[in-house]
Amino acid sequence: MTRYEGASRLTDELSVLAGLVVFSKDGRAQFGWRDLTTGRFHSEADGDHIVDAVGAVEIHHEIEH
């Protein structure tokens, strides 16, 4: 995940976290990340390679779990 640092005032940039929602051939979606060296998607839950990944969308959120 990428973290963009921000400040507390509305006019300043907000602190936003970016992640991926990875989609599988069977229609399932899960949070994950992409290895930039191999191009493979991995599950955020256990780090395993998502073998049947067909794509992903980037999401931005203010709360990290």
The pLDDT of residue 11: 47
**23-56 confidence digits (pLDDT tens):** 999 999 999 999 989 999 999 999 999 999 999 9
Smallest Cα–Cα separation from 49: which of 32, 37, 36, 28? 32
Q: Which of 44, 10, 40 is nearest to 30 (CA)?
A: 44
* Residues in CB range of 34: below 8 A, 6 or more apart: 20, 40, 41, 42, 56
- If pLDDT is split at 50, 70 and 90, which confidence band does 65 have? low
pLDDT 10s digits, 3-24: 444 444 444 554 556 689 999 9
